Chains A and B, each alone.
Chain A
Amino acid sequence: MARTWLRVTLASLGVLALAAWSGVTAAAPPPGVSASSPAAVQITLPASPLMEEQKILHVLNRLGYGPRPGDVERVEGMGLAAYLQQQLYPEAIPDRAVEQKLKNLTTLTMTSAELMREFPQPDPKLRQKIATGELSRAEMMEMFPPEKRPIRIIGELQSAKLIRAIESERQLEEVMVDFWFNHFNVFAGKGAVKWMLVSYERDAIRPHALGKFRDLVLATARHPAMLFYLDNWMSVKSDFPSRPGGKGPKGLNENYARELMELHTLGVDGGYTQKDVVEVARCFTGWTIDRPREGGGFVFRPPAHDNGEKVVLGHRIPAGGRKMDAEMVIDILVRHPSTAKFIATKLVRRFVADEPPPALVARVADTFTRTDGDIRAMLVTIITSPEFFAADTYRSKIKKPFELVASAVRAVGGTTSGSPALARAVAQIGEPLYASQPPTGYPDIAEAWVNTGALLNRMNFALGLTEGRSPGTRPDLGRFVAGADQRDPKALLDRLLAGLLHNQVTPDTRDVLLKQLSDPEILRATSDHRTLNPDVEKIAALVLGSPEFQRR
């Protein structure tokens, strides 16, 4: 009934009715979920050709950053359906160890204003002084050490992201935060964005990662990071008087309006025209940043707003709507069928396959429409689908660089301080964190990530990790070979393949690895100052750098 009411108001599009929408949350529970509280959720798993262990591995790899030692057994113990239910409600999962670790990263709880004050850009005049020799580099470093510069903020964000992916119990939440950040991408390298990123991820993305899609769109639309990154903060009505000397904002800026439709909601072929871009940009005029140089928040500035009538995708937005114009636009876009399809496609691509099965996309889009863009409900449609547990879905996705690094550290039972070395490895493999320049974010298909330089760096990362050459990150290989005969290469290999890949390897791979072990060069004397047979490190590296481990 509530839905019918929503459709009726959508058709009439009155401002008052729209204002009431934001408070409406009623929607029928999606199939597979019986209620909206974790205790009452019922997940029904479909029939699947996969073995029970494979199903568990599949879920750990797709809904999280891969299994740690013991995870498979743990999920088996509690039941896969129960694990899925738990992951869908991250706030109910205790995660104290990670919270404790994140306390060391003090920038994570600061406001943009505080970050700007505490970590200002070194005065450009200092750079000039270095150029003219008035100041030495050493003196400069003393005045402005890296821990007092903006770079610290990005560094701590990267650390936090790595710590959470590797050690958090709330794996699905981390995957979704990554997914939505990438969907609503902003780039740390553009001007003031670097001071706004912490708040962007913490306040605009994370709270809604499993919530309502409309809340995400609104939260990102209002956030200074997005307002700055896509220039809406300086978009003003076209007859806005410019300041003397040609300075200050100059008319309409269409960037945000275009990307809002092309990348955030409708998709590139979603049915909008250049005229719609202009109309949406007009609706968003006046949505700007309060004191941008001091890290201020969202503010609506009526003098900059174009208060005339607009028509967006055929919907009339009456004159005089002020700040509500843009909220109406968001409602129109979020409820457009192209948006349901576009978001469903991206989610299915992330969780199921590079080439999303159309039937599943249609069902997820249907869930989107039925639940008013409930992200959790869409995830349930995906993870209870036969497509998700199909044989050709299993291990068919190539891990993104971040997924590879996080899953490798997890696989070796490692812990991390989130050190820069790990973030650097992710960057070298091709996905510098918080540094995707275009608003498209990083792609989610194999072709984008499998290339010569990246592959070499994947293998080198595996070697560095297992040999303990990644400062701040400690692998725990000993656990896999404890009790095994250290002089029996085959026994060691069996332990490592079971521990790191759960034996999901081709006979060819096992064969190759065994041959490596019987190579006379590798059978050299074990150096006595090490507790671990160095071959174990090397073989573990070969396993983590192997084609099998690149898949999830």
Chain B
Amino acid sequence: MEITRRALIKSSAIALLGLGAMPRFLVRTASAGTGSAGKKILIALFQRGAVDGLSMVVPHAEANYYAARPSIAIPGPQAGSAEAAVDLNGFFGLHPALKPLLPLWEARRLAIVHACGSPDTTRSHFDAQDYMESGTPGLKSTQDGWLNRALKARPDPSGTAFRAVAMGSALPRALRGEAPSLAISNIADFDIRAGSGTLNAKRGFEALYERGAQNLLRATGKETFEAVKMLKAADPARYQPASGAEYPRGRFGDGLRQIAQLIKADVGLEIAFAASGGWDTHAVQGNSQGQLANRLREFAEGLAALDRDLGDRMADVVVLTMSEFGRTVQENGNRGTDHGHATAMLVLGGSVKGGKVYGKWPGISRAQLFEGRDLEVTTDFRHLFGEVAVKHLGVPASALLFPGVTLAPSAFPGTL
């Protein structure tokens, strides 16, 4: 078998640093002058469970929408009404619970891609998430995820252990693969944890890996203790969000806050991943209030807090939201919606051409529906993800990010 690319990158990095006499992050910081400011960062947020794109970004000018959803439709824009959709462009409106995102839309930093999704027709959460994360719809045995391939496409010998971080206890499918990625539940815990005498254990392990290991174990050991030191220097335990940003309580908000911490600590973050759940609204979905509204409120408050907290740093950040598929146009007998096809995805950031809904709207009259029931996909998610990867992260268009799909700018939706 060939030596993997990763081992090569590692060994060349060590060679570059003269067997690493100097901690790598110091070298990088010294050469970059301003830490990792200027480095492009992608934050990928997965709404697991299939969010109802038609409630998130409401086609309020479509009479069919109201006909199909007698009890769960979001009323069209109405001045002074807290229950009504917030108009965006005379055709679409934001769910009222997404109001925290309105300033971002108005500042043209938030773009929406509607009727976006997978060319694969599965309505299985599992398969659809799997395909969206591997980036190969219909193909199960792809071993790595698209975000990992995005890392691999731009080998960075001076990259830190924090190039790719997923919030949570396990690495998501999207980040699995050859390029090293971290799963962290709580960044304050990223350290050697001994019941007593932590200092000794840490020193001991560090010396063991420095002197007693070879090759991969030695290089990774070194990288590990550098990473621990970097985080310690950033002092995550005493973090205060900037500009009075308030993250929503719960795992999703905690995840976003920690991503902001990592960005501001300049630890070399390039790709962050977090997931939120509770979108599988088969029954009692609610309309302007209720189950889905609560989930959307948390989602919007999280994004708004992140934007406020990061401030100027948002110039280098793109937040991309995704969900495995959308939901049926017609509400079901339990005042909910079932598994559908296309949904809406959001792109947020300083370099985003915001204030616009992208993608061709396929319409939702009966004849226009996919398989007679769902919103049709008019933007293949790979073109949207590809646009972000190429234009924002700088992944070469020639990279095999999505095997079988050419990353041609002409196919990109145009959000960046």
Q: Tell me whether A271 is interfacial, beta carbon within 8 Å.
A: no
Contact bitstring A204-241, B, C-beta under 8 A = 1, else 0: 00000000000000000000000000110000000000
CB-based contact B207/A463 at 8 Å: no
From known contacts A447-B216, A463-B194, A519-B200, infer whether A453 and B182 are also in contact, taking CB-CB under 8 Å.
yes
Contacting residues of chain B (208-235) with chain A, CB-CB under 8 angstroms:
208-209, 211-214, 216-218, 220-221, 223-224, 227-228
CB-based contact A246/B372 at 8 Å: yes
Contacts of A538 in B (CB 8 A): 194, 197, 200-201, 204
CB-based contact A469/B195 at 8 Å: yes
Contacting residues of chain A (416-469) with chain B, CB-CB under 8 angstroms:
427-428, 430, 432, 435, 437-440, 443, 445-447, 450-453, 455-456, 459-460, 463-464, 467, 469
User: A438 is contacted by which of B141, B195, B283 (Cβ under 8 Å)?
Assistant: B141
Taking CB as reference atom, which chain A residue is nearest B199? A521
Contacts of B227 in A (CB 8 A): 452, 456
Q: Tell me whether B108 is interfacial, beta carbon within 8 Å.
A: no
From known contacts A190-B126, A447-B6, A522-B200, infer whether A438 and B134 are also in contact, taking CB-CB under 8 Å.
yes
Taking CB as reference atom, which chain B residue is nearest A463? B194
- Bound together, the chains give a CA A450 to CA B209 distance in angstroms of 13
Q: Tell me whether A534 is interfacial, beta carbon within 8 Å.
A: yes
Contact bitstring B288-310, A, C-beta under 8 A = 1, else 0: 00110010000000000000000
Q: Tell me whether B61 is interfacial, beta carbon within 8 Å.
A: no
Q: Tell me whether A338 is interfacial, beta carbon within 8 Å.
A: no
From known contacts A128-B284, A132-B291, A547-B218, infer whether A541 and B201 are also in contact, taking CB-CB under 8 Å.
yes
Q: Tell me whether A124 is interfacial, beta carbon within 8 Å.
A: yes
Taking CB as reference atom, which chain A residue is nearest B226? A452
Contacts of B205 in A (CB 8 A): 459, 542, 545-546
From known contacts A451-B180, A516-B207, infer whether A131 and B291 are also in contact, taking CB-CB under 8 Å.
yes
From known contacts A259-B140, A438-B140, A538-B200, infer whether A512 and B207 are also in contact, taking CB-CB under 8 Å.
yes
Interface size class of B (residues with CB under 8 A): 35 or more
Measured between C-beta atoms, what is the minimum distance from B187 to chain A in Å? Answer: 11
- Bound together, the chains give a CA A132 to CA B227 distance in angstroms of 43
CB-based contact A132/B141 at 8 Å: no
Contacts of B134 in A (CB 8 A): 438
Taking CB as reference atom, which chain A residue is nearest B161? A452
Contacts of B173 in A (CB 8 A): 437-438
CB-based contact A460/B1 at 8 Å: no
From A26-34, A75-83, A163-171, A501-509, the one touching the partner chain is A501-509
- Bound together, the chains give a CA A452 to CA B7 distance in angstroms of 14
Contacts of A469 in B (CB 8 A): 195
Q: Tell me whether A57 is interfacial, beta carbon within 8 Å.
A: no
Q: Tell me whether B240 is interfacial, beta carbon within 8 Å.
A: no
- Bound together, the chains give a CA A185 to CA B266 distance in angstroms of 39
From known contacts A128-B283, A453-B182, infer whether A547 and B192 are also in contact, taking CB-CB under 8 Å.
no
User: A456 is contacted by which of B190, B211, B372 (Cβ under 8 Å)?
Assistant: B190
Q: Tell me whether A550 is interfacial, beta carbon within 8 Å.
A: yes
- Bound together, the chains give a CA A428 to CA B193 distance in angstroms of 14
CB-based contact B197/A542 at 8 Å: no
Taking CB as reference atom, which chain A residue is nearest B212? A509
Contacts of B207 in A (CB 8 A): 512, 515-516
Contacting residues of chain A (150-175) with chain B, CB-CB under 8 angstroms:
none
Contacts of A259 in B (CB 8 A): 140-141
User: A511 is contacted by which of B170, B181, B211, B372 (Cβ under 8 Å)?
Assistant: B211
- Bound together, the chains give a CA A445 to CA B213 distance in angstroms of 18
Contacting residues of chain A (250-271) with chain B, CB-CB under 8 angstroms:
255, 258-259, 262-263, 268
Contacts of A546 in B (CB 8 A): 205, 208, 212
Measured between C-beta atoms, what is the minimum distance from A196 to chain B in Å? Answer: 14
CB-based contact B141/A463 at 8 Å: no
The contact sample of 24 A-B pairs, CB cut-off 8 A, is A128-B291, A190-B127, A231-B127, A246-B372, A255-B140, A268-B141, A428-B169, A430-B171, A440-B141, A445-B1, A447-B4, A447-B6, A452-B224, A455-B221, A456-B192, A469-B195, A506-B212, A508-B211, A538-B194, A542-B204, A542-B208, A547-B209, A547-B212, A550-B217
Known: A131-B284, A437-B173. 16 other contacts (CB 8 A): A124-B282, A128-B282, A131-B291, A262-B141, A398-B216, A438-B130, A446-B216, A453-B184, A455-B221, A506-B212, A512-B212, A515-B207, A534-B197, A542-B201, A545-B208, A547-B218
Which 6 A-B residue pairings sit nearest by Cβ, starting from the closest? A547-B213, A509-B212, A452-B161, A453-B182, A131-B291, A508-B211
Residues of A within 8 A of B (CB): 124-125, 128, 131-132, 187, 189-191, 230-231, 246, 255, 258-259, 262-263, 268, 354-356, 398, 427-428, 430, 432, 435, 437-440, 443, 445-447, 450-453, 455-456, 459-460, 463-464, 467, 469, 505-506, 508-509, 511-513, 515-516, 519, 521-522, 534, 538, 541-542, 545-548, 550
Residues of B within 8 A of A (CB): 1, 4, 6-7, 124, 126-127, 130, 134, 140-143, 161, 169-171, 173, 178, 180-184, 190-197, 199-201, 203-205, 207-209, 211-214, 216-218, 220-221, 223-224, 227-228, 278, 282-284, 290-291, 294, 371-373
